[in-house]
Amino acid sequence: MPVEEFDVVVAGGGPAGSTLAALVAMQGHRVLLLEKEVFPRYQIGESLLPSTVHGVCRMLGVTEELAEAGFPIKRGGTFRWGARPEPWTFSFAVSPKMTGPTSFAYQVERARFDEILLRNARRKGVEVREGRAVTGVIEGDERVTGLRYTDPDGAEREVYARFVVDASGNKSRLYNSVGGTRNYSEFFRSLALFGYFENGKRLPAPYSGNILSVAFDSGWFWYIPLSDTMTSVGAVVRREDADKIQGDREQALKALIAECPLISEYLADARRITTGRYGELRVRKDYSYHQTSFWRPGMILVGDAACFVDPVFSSGVHLATYSALLAARSINSVLADDLDEKTALTEFEARYRREYGVFYEFLVSFYEMNVNEESYFWQAKKVTNNKRTELESFVELIGGVSSGEAALAASGRIAERSAEFAAAVDQMASSDDGNMVPMFKSHVVKQVMQEGGQVQMKAVLGADAEPELPIFPGGLVVSPDGMKWLPYRPA
């Protein structure tokens, strides 16, 4: 076989892989994407955020296709969480009376959504090969230079590229090739048991498309409307319950539903789907982790290959597509000879690590506000009540110096911000008009929305967007078209 060479070869055709491949191909570079499955295929992670829909997807050119797909509109999230006995709603709009054209996202069947992104990558010039299982990396001259993979007929192949991107998810077999270690959170190691139901109850309009997240003694439930009649329902429980849910999954899910009155109410007239793509009861490890290195010369980790955080905030597809955008900017900058590899990829890793850290801190604060003194699940999730090792790991994750003092400071900050967020929830839920201003002013919400808002603004306004400042001292800024990095030059 002749030697195949590309500018970039991507392992994995999910949202991270297809996004990065398309954004690099749109700059005129030769990109090969290798995907083990043949699309459409099943995947979990069905709740999107506005920055994905109106930011990254707009840059990819699939906004209209998503709008025509008929996915349920998600205007925020509804929670039975914290001290309030009644559910409360976080809206992407400042208030119900001030909704904007980008103050919504979608709930998606990932089989359809992922196929839209993959087919779009092909239209943008990416060579997409499905049914190809990547088996390893090729190394030479102290950098990764290509990938090995098998064809559908079992034949082994090799392909060479300037950059190799691992976008193969949390089950990646390649991430170790970058070096470093995968650090798992001691506290956020949960298991999810989930299935799909027909004719479940819906929230009242205009929030009928919201994700509903409900805390109960043994953990929490997600309840995601995927169509007028189909709902994704999952219970997140502690890993010590593995034997219970891995045994008779049907009985285990029924028992967990019975523990949670609100979910029981919503499923009272529903039936579980037992055939086809959605007929299986599945179990997934929801272990939060991060890799100590996100890149090495010639190779980059994006999406879940680099890090994963508890799914309560629907952050999975956001982090996948956001990291893909960051990495695409770095690759485009290097291939255009605008920046050296180390400078470009240092910016990628610093920004992705920061965004992951922001969601991780929000997660810690969010779990902290759910008070249930008699529940082992919830007491075990209170980081500020436990040893400092988790907080030291968090401080190190976001670029600080890991020490007992730093962990103690982080503990105080998290407790303070969790209390601030809980107060904002109470103020918002008690108001007559559902005004979101107190929520948007809370520190953890501002942090989570900051970078996603920048991506949306850049995608919507393009070169007319206000010039941004570097996130880090001596760092880079985004080019006017959003596709590359530029050195920062003050006016």
Q: pLDDT-derived band of residue 402, with 50, 70 and 90 as boundaries?
A: very low
R_g of the chain, CA atoms, integer Å: 22
| Res 479 pLDDT > 70 | yes
Question: Which residue in the block uniquely carries the two structure tokens 């230079």?
Answer: 145
Of the listed ranges 47-56, 82-91, 286-295, the least confidently predicted one is 82-91
- Domains with residue ranges and CATH for the chain: 4-71+108-184+289-349 (3.50.50.60), 191-285 (3.30.9.100), 372-465 (no CATH)
Q: Which long-range contacts (CB under 8 A, 24 or more apart) does 409-414 make?
A: 411/383, 411/384, 414/361, 414/364, 414/365, 414/368, 414/383, 414/384
The three-class DSSP label of residue 128 is strand
194 contacts 76 by C-beta, under 8 angstroms: no
pLDDT tens, position by position, 206-240: 999 999 999 998 889 999 999 999 999 999 988 88
Name, in order, each residue with C-beta under 8 angstroms of 3's C-beta and a sequence gap of 6 or more: 158, 160
pTM of the model: 0.90
Angle at 444 between CA 443 and CA 449, to 5 degrees: 100
Q: Spell out the alpha helix ranges (H) of 74-125.
A: 110-123
Of the candidates 117, 102, 10, 109, the residue with the CA atom closest to the CA atom of residue 62: 117
Residue 145 burial (CB count, 10 A): 21
pLDDT at 433: 66
Residue 430, Cα to own-chain centre: how many angstroms? Answer: 31
**In angstroms, how far is the first alpha carbon of the chain from the final one?**
54
The three-class DSSP label of residue 326 is helix
| Res 278 pLDDT > 60 | yes
Say how far apart CA 407 and CA 395 lie, in whole Å.
7
32 contacts 159 by C-beta, under 8 angstroms: yes
| Res 408 pLDDT > 80 | no
Residue 122 burial (CB count, 10 A): 16
**Residue 38, token pair as written in the block:** 């043949």
| Res 117 pLDDT > 50 | yes
pLDDT at 372: 62
Q: pLDDT-derived band of residue 411, with 50, 70 and 90 as boundaries?
A: low
Which helix H or strand E contains 232, and what residues bound it? strand 230-238
Average pLDDT score, the chain: 87
Say how far apart CA 333 and CA 445 lie, in whole Å.
31
34 contacts 129 by C-beta, under 8 angstroms: yes
| Res 440 pLDDT > 90 | no
User: pLDDT: is 299 or 474 the higher one?
Assistant: 299
**Bridge partners, residue 144, by sequence:** 139
pLDDT tens, position by position, 386-399: 444 544 554 444 44
403 contacts 391 by C-beta, under 8 angstroms: no
pLDDT tens, position by position, 13-59: 999 999 999 999 999 999 999 999 999 999 998 999 989 999 999 99
